[in-house]
Amino acid sequence: MAIQAALLGYGVVGSGVAEVLAENAAGIARNAGQPIELKYILCRSDRPGDPFSGRIVHDFSVIEADPEVEIVAECIGGSGMALEYVRRCLLAGKHVVTSNKELVASYGHELLAIAREKNVNFLFEGSVGGGIPIIRPITQCLTANELDEVYGIINGTTNYILTQMIVEGASFADALADAQRLGYAEADPTADIEGVDAGRKICILADLCFGRHISPELVRMRGISGVNARDVKYSRRVGYKIKLLGRALRTGPNTVTAYVEPHLISIRSLLSNVDGVMNGIVVRGNALGECMFYGAGAGKRPTASAVVADMIDCAKHRDARMYLNWDAPEPGHFTGPDDLISRWYVRTGASLAAVGGAFGNVRLINRESDPPDEYAFLSAPMSGHALRNCSRGMDIRSAFRVLD
Amino acid sequence: MAIQAALLGYGVVGSGVAEVLAENAAGIARNAGQPIELKYILCRSDRPGDPFSGRIVHDFSVIEADPEVEIVAECIGGSGMALEYVRRCLLAGKHVVTSNKELVASYGHELLAIAREKNVNFLFEGSVGGGIPIIRPITQCLTANELDEVYGIINGTTNYILTQMIVEGASFADALADAQRLGYAEADPTADIEGVDAGRKICILADLCFGRHISPELVRMRGISGVNARDVKYSRRVGYKIKLLGRALRTGPNTVTAYVEPHLISIRSLLSNVDGVMNGIVVRGNALGECMFYGAGAGKRPTASAVVADMIDCAKHRDARMYLNWDAPEPGHFTGPDDLISRWYVRTGASLAAVGGAFGNVRLINRESDPPDEYAFLSAPMSGHALRNCSRGMDIRSAFRVLD
């Protein structure tokens, strides 16, 4: 007996899911204990000639109303129709899997509550890090730890651009154009470039690690459009690479923070070697220390790898899986990142006297053939608030945290 | 209501398990759905003054016969007493968790069968990679893939020694003495140095990835005692580091191979940056591509992190977990690694004419202040058999595979 599934959406991820289900059907049936059959694909167009065109339907309610369909993979994206359909599928008693980070970051808590009530699964391994196993490792393998921090390179588009700037010396604009040409960046690259995509993912990781919902609206998201080729050069001279990190950590017994910002990370760290479109996620616990997960964080087949694994898990577990859960938001739980203390990299046009007066002792970065009107330094450890106070009225061109 | 557990063995790992259970008790109770109480610790001595000395028993049958004890963590090591006790615990209907790679590599298949029959769990997340999540990621997150290959740095002792040789230019003997002084290598370091420990771990990874038991007795294990400081230098000149890899891969539709050998790996690969006592494991699947798992592969608390996570999983799942399983061995399934084709690094005292005659075109490695009577080269791709044929009668001082 095969278990019946449906696909909502037939774009990049959806077609990847159909492809992997067909190509690896034998192994999937073995792992799931039974074959998984794709009964419907919800798609606006008919796709004549597509190998799966016979399964295409245009009306969601066909899927919703068919009691044979037990597993639904949402591949629409966003939180408009996707949210409505996922809710209705769960309410209809169907298992739902998705790689939609926007949906999970904003509505995960609510959708998990419906799933629990209906005793079905709502799984989203692909919503962070694409095909990299990360959700189950955190929620099943690291459960003996008090988790203190999670951070990483969780957006492939910006990592590709920064890698081009670091390795090829490209400007931000050229590297972005290159990424668009190769299909790594969208025509409107805002969500990637400005850190919004990474912000959603760090919310999901923080929810799982710290057990309480953090709304993406609270999270400061700062992307890489302010990173300059000169910042890359100055950083390298002191042994650092600039990487866009999502980062979440405990700031007290009952408080956490999360944010997205470019950071200087040491070239001696493993994470600094995560280049191109690849992702790397570091988790720190009090028993294990640090571990890292690395792989393709996006793309058709890597994302499908995670979505289909979730479908297999649904087939194996007809009752709700117990490992995914986090509490409702609580006032005071989330704090901004400005209290966090770190060293800062600063590029400035201010006079040495002004910098010395405001920042005290700093580590000046050696000058080579740099513009005569600027220099860069590493500050002593200070909070974001203190940095702002010190910088007041000064010509500050870049300021990024150093991850020590 | 708390769930009652017992510890067999109270050495490094056992005391780490007791420590983590006590220190993180609140979080563990939350994650397990109930507190986990350590009722007994099986230990030969009384350990007066130890915080857990009140729970020490000397007689295994006390634990075996107590129906209150539902979870047993085996921390004895080896496959003597540990095998007998694990068998008896499973037969008594208790869940068993372990980090004992010798036990799992040789008897995992048999013990899983008993666990299935008794509808209890036999879990061993800590048996490979210490605290690094690897068993569940392979068996739950990568299930949509046909897995083709798994390889990695899975022994911290030898990786520490090689890192000292690479970074500090130390000789093998000095680096080993250093590792022993720091507690990274045992007084009798044979199992680590000669690749036996890595061999057991690669068997477990291969069992999980390819679904069929591979006996460690079949697996060629070649350690690092033959790696010379000059090999390290020659390798660096062509952009490689020498790392001890456990490696298992499909060699045909129904055949696999597995082995442990020093390899040359490109300094541009992420794995080559896994240094010191750390471990890194790469898994390759046909949907995901490559992903890598990194962290502390041994040590008291990292290993306890995995063992306690397994105990939590047992507490949450009173029925046998379905994700762990592999088939009985089958003649012809395992093939030796000598058919595998790769380039080879060769250090030799033979004449250039002799090498040219036997190997054809090779890439000679630049000479610097090397001994006058030797040189090194990279061969064209060839099998292990072909290498042996070419080398016959020649003064070959080292020959390692290049991982391309």
Q: Is the interface score ipTM higher than 0.90?
A: yes
Q: What is the DSSP string of A22-35?
A: HHTHHHHHHHHSS-
What confidence tier does A185 reach under pLDDT thresholds 50, 70, 90? Answer: confident
Q: How many CA atoms lie within 13 A of B98 on its CB side?
A: 30
**What pLDDT is stored for residue B152 in this prediction?**
98
How near does any CA of chain B get to the CA of A285, in Å? 9
pLDDT at A128: 96
Nearest to B148 by CA among B295, B24, B247: B247
Q: How much is the average pLDDT of A288-302?
A: 94
The answer to whether A287 contacts B305, with C-beta atoms less than 8 Å apart, is yes
Cα torsion A70, A75, A79, A84 to 10°: value is -30
Q: Which residues are CB-neighbours of A362 under 8 A, at least 6 positions away?
A: A346, A355, A356, A377, A378, A379, A380
Q: Six-digit token pair at B395?
A: 């003064």
Question: Which pLDDT value is given to residue A152?
Answer: 98
Instruction: Give the residue among A199, A197, A244 at the shortest CA–CA distance from A218.
Output: A199
Strands B255-266 and B56-57 turn out to be unpaired
* Rounded mean pLDDT, A232-241: 96
B28 and chain A in contact, CB less than 8 A? yes
Contact, A123 vs A97, CB < 8 A?
A: yes
For residue range B252-263, list pLDDT tens digits in order. 989 999 999 999
Q: Can you give the pLDDT at residue B167?
A: 92
Partner B, chain A 299-318, Cβ-Cβ below 8 Å: 301-302, 304-309, 311-313, 316
**Both structure tokens of B257:** 């191979």
Q: Sort strands A344-348 and A375-378 into parallel, antiparallel or unpaired.
A: antiparallel
In Å, the largest CA–CA distance within chain B is 78
Per-residue pLDDT at A385 exceeds 90? yes
**A residues 103-142 near B, CB within 8 Å?**
125, 131-133, 136-137, 140-142
Instruction: Let me know the angle formed at the C-alpha of B401 by B397 and B403, rounded to the nearest 5 degrees.
Output: 150
Q: Are A148 and A284 in contact (CB under 8 A)?
A: yes
The strand ranges marked E within B140-186 are: 147-153
Confidence band, pLDDT 50/70/90 cuts, at residue A149: very high
Instruction: State the number of CA atoms in the 13 A half-sphere of B321 facing the CB.
Output: 27
Helix (H) or strand (E) holding B102: helix B101-118
- Tokens at residue A104, please? 């999970």
pTM value?
Answer: 0.95
Of A248, A247, A277, A276, whose CA–CA distance to A262 is shortest?
A247
User: What confidence category does residue A318 fall into, taking pLDDT thresholds of 50, 70 and 90?
Assistant: confident
Strands B122-123 and B95-98: parallel
List, in sequence order, every residue forming a beta bridge with A342; answer none if it has no partner. A382
Inter-residue contact B215 to B257 (CB < 8 Å): no
Q: Which residue from B20, B49, B15 is spatially nearest to B36, judged by alpha carbons?
A: B20
CA–CA dist B134, B279 (Å, integer): 11
* Mean pLDDT of all residues belonging to chain A: 95
CB pairs under 8 A between A and B: 179
**Interface contact flag, B294 A294, Cβ < 8 Å:** yes
How confident is the model at residue B328, as a pLDDT? 87
User: Which residues of B have a catalytic role annotated?
Assistant: 201
Mean pLDDT of chain B: 95
**Beta carbons within 10 angstroms of residue B225's beta carbon:** 17
Q: How far apart are CA A137 and CA A260, in angstroms?
A: 22
d(CA A238, CA B229): 30
Which pLDDT score, from 0 to 100, does residue B369 have?
A: 86
To test the contact with chain B by mutation, choose from A99, A139, A143, A294 the residue with the greatest count of B C-beta atoms within 10 A, namely A143
pLDDT value, residue B45: 93
DSSP label at residue A334: B
What number of residues does chain A have? Answer: 404
Residues 6+ apart with CB under 8 A from B95: B70, B71, B72, B120, B121, B122, B123, B314
Q: Which residues of chain B have pLDDT under 70?
A: none
Chain B residue at shortest CA distance from A292 = B294
- Token couple for A265: 């990370």
CB contact under 8 A, A293 and B294: yes
Closest listed residue to residue B206, CA positions, set B257, B254, B244, B153: B257
pLDDT at B319: 77
Number of residues written out for chain B: 404
Which two three-digit tokens encode residue A398? 């870049």
B325 interfaces chain A, CB cutoff of 8 Å: no
The pLDDT of residue B377: 97
* pLDDT computed for residue A124 by the predictor: 97
SS3 A193: helix
Tell me which amino acid residue A335 is: T
Going by their DSSP bridges, the two strands B255-266 and B396-403 should be labelled as: parallel
pLDDT value for B49: 92
Q: Of A139-153, A175-189, B86-100, which range is least confident?
A: A175-189
